[in-house]
């Protein structure tokens, strides 16, 4: 059961091959046996999962089914879940039990899904390797010596290892697409505002976006249809109808115009990654697409702009964690200032402290115009680059990451870690949708092809990805870790 896609599981449940409870028990058993090595989960919700599975089976018996009824998944531990611990991978929230559900969680519950638990992540979604978690690093099931990517590394590793067929992640600068690439799964970052951020613990509010992570584009289409939609509780959530994202999956690609940004194929790109991406492009040409080179001239400003804007927003968002209202509180504070200082010093990890300091500096008097305002002006130029490119082509393609997954502990220098996001960060700055699909291997480590579209073209991206997956079997490959522990 664990080697099926979400869509295949739905068909099996409809055919009565097994029940949702049986499927849920099987996957919970795999988590028990295997996750000790991967560390992909922070919390496993056994009782709630079995109760939800039984409810789904009763609904199916009564003929009250939806496309996702009874299907298991996992949630990145950044989504508030009522009466369940929600940590954001931080000591600061190690004792936080959310009193409400995030909108994404509400919508997935209403769709009949069964949540198996909360997945590990870089603390407050700050990281590209899932080594910044209070709960320890996550390992990549393709190679236990490698990182799974971040910050949604727990979600990616759990799907790749067959512990769950799908998971929900968040993407602020590549945190769905990069771990999807590193773990050989499919991950989609929707257009900013397509999915509600209500109840999603904030890192950088103008960049954060939730999205699905699964084995196939078809699975991501099913999940996005349930997650997307307007929410009055999130002022940045767009009031726009939600299409059936599965409707266009089988549309032929004849006439599709693909753009290859020349800035994504320069120095720093691993030759094996480039070769895999160019081979994937040839598949698209065989499917009737045409390819041309385009330019995104402000790409090299994306990382410096991002690492001004995101830490500034983080500095503001994380100011609420003060030891007073919720979260970690130091013992025996001498006074209010001591409470603030020690609670935050003890509760936050090094990377979070680093970004708070950077952000506080850039927002301070005398530096706001020089740094934050200038970064926002650069952001506008980056967005315009994409708009100009989409006047010429339908989609852009390139690598999701400059390298395959790197070894655990290999990147001690924060700047070298930040540079891993060179191909993903600009997409968040522009607010456009993007996804990563499996496209090959470098040794035993997967390589991801990144596909980008203009605002609200998720259906087109999913169609383009699905057609590639119909012509290739990269998304069907399973790590030896999952096969040996079947």
Q: Which residues are catalytic?
A: 76, 151, 175
Region of 332 please: left (phi>0), alpha (psi -120 to 50) or beta.
left
Structure tokens at 484: 């040996």
CB-based burial label for 89 (10 Å; 0-12, 13-18, 19+): buried
Measure the CA–CA gap between 348 and 419, rounded to whole angstroms: 23
> Beta strand 395-399 with 445-452: parallel, antiparallel or unpaired?
antiparallel
Handedness of CA 142, 37, 217, 25 (dihedral sign): positive
Across 137-267, the runs of DSSP E, i.e. the strands, are 166-170, 186-189, 210-214, 257-261
Identify the helix (H) or strand (E) that includes residue 7: helix 6-15
Structure tokens at 75: 């949630």
Structure tokens at 41: 């989960």
What's the length of the chain? 486
Largest Cα–Cα distance in the chain?
70
Structure tokens at 308: 């001004």
DSSP SS3 for 382: helix
């Amino acid at each position: 059961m664990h080697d099926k896609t979400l869509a295949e599981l739905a068909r099996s449940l409809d055919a009565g091959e097994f029940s949702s409870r049986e499927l849920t028990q099987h996957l919970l058993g795999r988590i028990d046996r295997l996750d000790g090595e991967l560390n992909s989960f922070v919390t496993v919700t056994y009782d709630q999962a079995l109760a939800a599975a039984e409810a789904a089976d009763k609904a199916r018996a009564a003929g009250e089914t939806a496309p996702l009824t009874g299907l298991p998944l996992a949630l990145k531990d950044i989504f508030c879940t009522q009466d369940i611990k929600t940590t954001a991978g931080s000591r600061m929230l190690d004792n936080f039990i959310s009193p409400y559900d995030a909108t994404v969680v509400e919508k997935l519950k209403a769709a009949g899904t069964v949540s198996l638990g909360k997945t590990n992540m870089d603390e407050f979604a700050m990281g590209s390797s899932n080594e910044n978690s209070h709960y320890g690093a996550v390992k990549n099931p393709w190679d236990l010596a490698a990182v799974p990517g971040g910050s949604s590394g727990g979600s990616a590793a759990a799907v790749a290892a067959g512990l769950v067929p799908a998971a929900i992640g968040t993407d602020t600068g590549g945190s769905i697409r990069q771990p999807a690439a590193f773990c050989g799964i499919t991950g989609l970052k929707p257009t900013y505002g397509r999915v509600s951020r209500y109840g999603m613990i904030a890192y950088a509010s103008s960049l954060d976006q939730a999205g699905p992570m699964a084995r196939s584009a078809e699975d991501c289409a099913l999940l996005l249809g349930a997650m997307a939609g307007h929410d009055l509780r999130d002022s940045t959530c767009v009031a726009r109808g939600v299409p059936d994202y599965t409707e266009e999956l089988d549309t032929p690609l004849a006439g599709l115009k693909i753009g290859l940004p020349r800035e994504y194929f320069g120095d720093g790109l691993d030759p094996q990654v480039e070769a895999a991406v160019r081979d994937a492009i040839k598949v698209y040409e065989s499917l009737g697409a045409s390819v041309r080179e385009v330019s995104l001239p402000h790409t090299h400003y994306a990382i410096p702009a991002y690492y001004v804007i995101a830490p500034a927003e983080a500095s503001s968002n994380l100011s609420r964690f003060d030891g007073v209202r919720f979260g970690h509180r130091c013992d025996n504070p001498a006074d209010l200032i001591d409470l603030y200082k020690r609670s935050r010093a003890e509760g936050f990890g090094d990377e979070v402290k680093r970004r708070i300091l950077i952000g506080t500096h850039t927002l301070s008097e005398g530096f706001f115009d020089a740094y934050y305002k200038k970064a926002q002006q650069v952001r506008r130029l980056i967005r315009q680059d994409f708009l100009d490119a989409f006047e010429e082509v339908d989609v852009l393609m390139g690598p999701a990451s400059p390298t395959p997954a790197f070894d655990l502990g290999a990147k001690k220098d924060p700047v070298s870690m930040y540079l891993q996001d060179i191909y993903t960060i600009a997409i968040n700055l522009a607010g456009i949708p993007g996804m990563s699909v499996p496209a090959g291997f470098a040794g035993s480590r997967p390589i991801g092809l990144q596909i980008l579209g203009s605002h609200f073209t998720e259906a087109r991206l999913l169609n383009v990805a699905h057609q590639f997956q119909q012509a290739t079997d990269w998304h069907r490959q399973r790590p030896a870790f999952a096969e040996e522990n079947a």
